[in-house]
Structure 1
């Protein structure tokens, strides 16, 4: 970008200011994958805090990455409100293009922090898992340090390439500007290191897992889980290509939007892939809890059904007993001859209540009056050596 003289550059009016371009699609993708990244971090912390009950250094780096990812996404949303995603011919230079470039510069700071912290978290986790291989451990330490230092230096130069810094987003003011090719080379170098890291974090662990003595059906899901992060390397490559259109070119606003879209996909997939190896413990725990809950629900259900059937059976027995007792009385004729046939002549019933206890019962007795049939459910229990006691007046049964 050349140094324009103050107030000498003019820009044509926007052709179609109502055309949002790829802005809505871009911001929709960015928020979708940012939300997925936050869910992955939340599940990771749940596993670490409530199942493993211990937070590691890799977890803290991932928490920092999640916080800065939200800050980065907020800056991109602000840039979208000013027209990020629209074609340059449909934007006004002031205030739209200047504010888009301003918020892109601000958003690049948390964006680079996310890229660094997420990869440090992954490297720390891989050291914990495969630290027994000394060469791999030192490879992770050296390469992660190199890529983090390069990315930090690139971001610092990117933000300080103009003096004053307002000249970055407003070429209308006089400022000292570095050659934009310097920032391009550093950006491409940093992105290349990120791409190599993403690929090495995939290929090397997969080769280690393949050599483990475990069934094939357990190896395949592990390898598939790690190989999913290849998409992160693809996003990093796409971001490297689009950097050429994004750095120092206010005229190529579509390239700026695509570059930040791929940057968002790269950081969010890095977070998600860094959290996924932790989540199988969550699925195992939840499966165990599901089995316990299922067993408990089945037990309660079976007991409820059994109690219901028992209650229904008892109710039916009570109704049958009531019906049989009154049926005998209703079928009795009020004829004196027939009533005489109901005279009690059966021997007393003596259940086994003990050597000194007898229990006697008698059939209902009726008076001589034809219309005075009386039913009683009272009974009498007598004890040897004890006076006989009736529970109430009338005829005992």
Structure 2
């Protein structure tokens, strides 16, 4: 965690622990709207695949795991924003809530990596259902999937080894050693944009050449339009990651925007994973 220099701390107003300014209920409202939509879409997908068609695949179970981890992100964010000061200015944050706030942050970051990577891996596996054998599209899908798994495994390792001992991440006590957390966070956010774009672009050529019924073509266009929104959300989220870790000292207040875009990216990934059979 970056500690502000003395001149920045001196410029802050006195802490207000009684009636501090807050960001309000916007984050909770967004989470409570987009999470149920994502879970409903997933439930419809599983109903069609498991009950009606009776042919579930690994892509379905991976998307279920992604939704579970994404729900964990939502729970973490709601706890932190209501109990641990994520909707307050940093100078109004009681020191007593800093350790649990940092613990929830670590949990939310790890759950975000798992949720987004599993959602993308599920979509990549679903491509194999229609990718011709030995085609460049199929080989590219395997390559992106392998790179996705390797990169996100590395980011998880970095996340849990950035401090020695790990408890130094939330206690901030002297004697521990932590590497700067900004570069890994920015690298992970940028990689999310890359992989979202890769997953979005990969099947476009194959689908453009496919002779689909009009109804299915409309459904595919709609899903890939939503995929473009996911890429845009990841890009906006990357900006806010940079701003929180490099551009501001008021990390809890400014981080509010970051967590909004985190929610959008996590749950839209599940929504976009619906592959058309629900239609």
Tell me the TM-score normalized by structure 1: 0.62
- Find the counterpart in structure 2 of residue 88 from structure 1: 90
- Aligned partners of 1:85, 1:186: CA distance in 2, in Å? 24
RMSD: 2.7
Q: Relative to 1, partners in 2 of residues 1:278 and 1:213: Cα closer, same or farther, differing over 3 Å?
A: closer
Aligned length: 272
Segments of structure 2 that go 5 or more residues without pairing to the other structure are none
- Aligned partners of 2:35, 2:193: CA distance in 1, in Å? 20
Counterparts of 1:9-48 in structure 2, within 5 Å, are 13-15=14-16, 17-19=18-20, 21-48=22-49
Segments of structure 1 that go 5 or more residues without pairing to the other structure are 281-397
Tell me the TM-score normalized by structure 2: 0.85
> By percentage of residues, which structure has more helix?
2
- Find the counterpart in structure 2 of residue 53 from structure 1: 54
> C-alpha deviations, 1:222-248, integer Å up to 9, x for none?
212222111111111122122223449
Aligned counterpart in structure 1 of residue 196 of structure 2, from 195, 198, 212: 198
- Find the counterpart in structure 2 of residue 189 from structure 1: 187
- Find the counterpart in structure 2 of residue 261 from structure 1: 260
Aligned counterpart in structure 1 of residue 243 of structure 2, from 236, 245, 252: 245
Contact 1:3–1:175 under 8 Å retained in 2: no
- Find the counterpart in structure 2 of residue 112 from structure 1: 113
Contact 1:87–1:254 under 8 Å retained in 2: yes
Deviation at 1:122?
0.3
Counterparts of 1:1-397 in structure 2, within 5 Å, are 1=1, 13-15=14-16, 17-19=18-20, 21-80=22-81, 81-92=83-94, 94-132=95-133, 134-178=135-179, 180=180, 183-214=181-212, 219-247=217-245, 251-280=250-279
Quick check: which has more Rg, 1 or 2? 1
Q: Relative to 1, partners in 2 of residues 1:174 and 1:31: Cα closer, same or farther, differing over 3 Å?
A: farther
> C-alpha deviations, 1:184-226, integer Å up to 9, x for none?
3333333333222322333343333232234666534421222
- Aligned partners of 1:49, 1:55: CA distance in 2, in Å? 5
Q: Relative to 1, partners in 2 of residues 1:152 and 1:22: Cα closer, same or farther, differing over 3 Å?
A: farther
Contact 2:162–2:178 under 8 Å retained in 1: yes
Q: Relative to 1, partners in 2 of residues 1:137 and 1:191: Cα closer, same or farther, differing over 3 Å?
A: farther
- Aligned partners of 1:209, 1:168: CA distance in 2, in Å? 46
Bigger shift: residues 151-160 or 32-41: 151-160
Between 1 and 2, higher relative CO (CA 8 Å, sep ≥ 6) is seen in: 2
